[in-house]
């Protein structure tokens, strides 16, 4: 076991250890050894599946040739951790430290990377990892969950919703949107039984013994629900006809999918018919496209955009 640790931590294709080097390393742990015992142990490790190679020659020696994660894969994982808004700085450093143990000490130095992501705010709730685990456990067991839901004040103090009452919901699926985890839930008895919650805003999440509420899994399409709900904010779903400048084809396909049908309507514009959530988030997305995007129908949706624009003018003036 010590030889396995020594080879894992200290060797790779560019760094090898001779049999004598392994004996010296074992001595540092207070373990006496000789060449024969080292050869026998290395062979036993090979038989157990550890990929140990021996390079002959003047600069030869033993090294671990392959691992569960290769260095490029670890670099990718480190970049993902550092660029995730979900991960706090403290938790990020802890995860990277653990990832570094999956390679040699020399290669681990290459994992000391810095990725800069524009507009990414660090998470404030470090317990989100345990919340995710409890949610998945409940989904797999077909149970309900309980939790408290909160927002933040300007002092970054938690403000609990519904006077800190405990929510009890049936978890359906976890959703990843714009570097945030959301939980899709079902609760019969509400006008809209389906709702989403930011997982990093959930506290004391517990899987209950109470069985999950049954819902129509055949007719309810999770992927379709997420697609229609821009920014994960709930709102009335409407059948909208939208017009865009031809320069926005890629933007439209990114938002609505490659299967979206587009019809040229002249003037360098095209129209699409889509199902969307009539929420301020979607209106804001349309607004940011400026004069290159227009809501054609329904009229009530156009009126909602006009109202949002008028509200903004009232704040900033004419």
- Report all structural domains of the chain as residue ranges with CATH numbers, in order of start: 2-64 (1.10.10), 71-111 (no CATH), 128-226 (no CATH), 235-316 (3.30.70.240)
**Which residues lie across from 64 on neighbouring strands?**
52
HSE-CB for 101 with a 13 A CA cutoff: 6
Positive or negative, the CA dihedral 229, 230, 233, 236 is negative
Listed residue (234, 105, 260, 263) closest to 175, CA to CA: 234
Q: What is the pTM of this model?
A: 0.58
Task: Specify the pLDDT at position 118.
Answer: 47
Chain position carrying tokens 């004996």: 23
Tokens of 206: 């517990």
Task: Specify the pLDDT at position 286.
Answer: 93
What is the rounded CA–CA span in Å between residue 113 and residue 115?
7
CB 148 within 8 A of CB 218: no
Q: What is the dihedral of CA 259, 229, 92, 7, to 10 degrees?
A: -40
What is the rounded CA–CA span in Å between residue 255 and residue 293?
13
What is the rounded CA–CA span in Å between residue 283 and residue 298?
13
Length of the chain in terms of residues written? 318
Tokens of 41: 């142990």
Task: Please list the pLDDT of the chain residue by residue as tens digits (318 residues).
Answer: 999 999 999 999 999 999 999 999 999 999 999 999 999 999 999 999 999 999 998 889 999 999 999 888 998 888 888 777 777 778 888 888 999 999 999 888 888 765 554 445 555 566 787 888 899 999 999 999 999 999 888 777 889 998 899 999 999 988 877 777 889 999 998 888 888 898 888 999 999 999 999 988 777 888 777 766 656 566 678 899 999 999 999 999 888 887 889 999 999 999 999 988 888 888 999 999 999 999 999 999 999 999 998 988 888 876
Q: How far is CA 183 from the centre of its chain?
A: 12
Non-local (6+) Cβ contacts of 297 within 8 A are: 240, 241
Tokens of 258: 């490659």
What is the rounded CA–CA span in Å between residue 27 and residue 151?
56
- 43-54 tens-digit pLDDT: 999 999 999 999
What is the rounded CA–CA span in Å between residue 299 and residue 297?
5
Three-state SS for the chain is CHHHHHHHHHCECCECECHHHHHHHHHHCCCCCCHHHHHHHHHHHHHCCCCEEEECCCCCEEEECCCCCCHHHHHHHHHHHHHCCCCCHHHHHHHHHHHHCCCCHHHHHHHCCCCCCCCCCCCCCCCHHHHHHHHHHHHHHCEEEEEEEEEECCCCCEEEHHHHCCEEEEEEEEEEECCEEEEEEECCCCCCCEEEEEHHHEEEEEEEEEECCCCCCCCCCHHHHHHHCHHHCCCCEEEEEEEEEHHHHHHHHHHHCCCCCCEEEECCEEEEEEEEECCHHHHHHHHCCHHHEEEEECHHHHHHHHHHHHHHHHHHCC
- 164-216 tens-digit pLDDT: 999 999 999 888 777 778 899 999 988 888 888 988 889 999 999 999 999 88
Task: Specify the pLDDT at position 263.
Answer: 93
């Amino acid at each position: 076991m010590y030889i396995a640790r020594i080879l894992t931590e200290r060797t790779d294709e560019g760094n090898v250890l001779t049999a004598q080097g392994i004996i010296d390393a074992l001595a540092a742990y207070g373990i006496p050894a000789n060449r024969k015992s080292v050869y026998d142990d290395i062979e036993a490790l090979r038989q157990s599946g550890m990929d140990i190679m021996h390079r002959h020659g003047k600069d030869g020696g033993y090294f671990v040739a392959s691992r569960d994660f290769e260095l490029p894969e670890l670099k990718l994982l480190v970049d993902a951790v550092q660029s995730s808004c979900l991960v706090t700085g403290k938790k990020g450093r802890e995860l990277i430290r653990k990832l570094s143990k999956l390679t040699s000490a020399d290669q681990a130095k290459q994992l000391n990377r810095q990725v800069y992501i524009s507009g990414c705010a660090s998470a404030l709730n470090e317990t989100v990892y345990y919340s995710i685990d409890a949610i998945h456990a409940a989904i797999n067991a077909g149970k309900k969950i309980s939790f408290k839901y909160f927002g933040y004040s300007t002092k970054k103090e938690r403000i609990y919703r519904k006077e800190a009452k405990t929510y009890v919901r049936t978890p359906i699926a976890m959703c990843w949107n714009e570097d945030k985890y959301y939980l899709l839930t079902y609760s019969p008895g509400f006008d809209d039984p389906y709702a989403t919650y930011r997982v990093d805003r959930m506290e004391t999440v517990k899987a209950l013994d109470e069985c999950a509420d049954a819902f129509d899994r055949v007719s309810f399409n999770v992927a379709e629900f997420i697609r229609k709900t821009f920014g994960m904010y709930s709102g009335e779903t409407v059948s909208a006809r939208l017009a865009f400048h031809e320069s926005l084809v890629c933007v439209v396909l990114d938002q609505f999918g490659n299967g979206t049908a587009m019809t040229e309507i002249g003037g360098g514009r095209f129209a699409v018919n889509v199902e969307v959530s009539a929420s301020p988030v979607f209106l804001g997305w349309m607004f940011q496209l400026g004069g290159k995007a227009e809501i054609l129908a329904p009229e009530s949706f156009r009126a909602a955009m006009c109202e949002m624009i008028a509200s903004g003018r009232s704040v900033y003036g004419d």
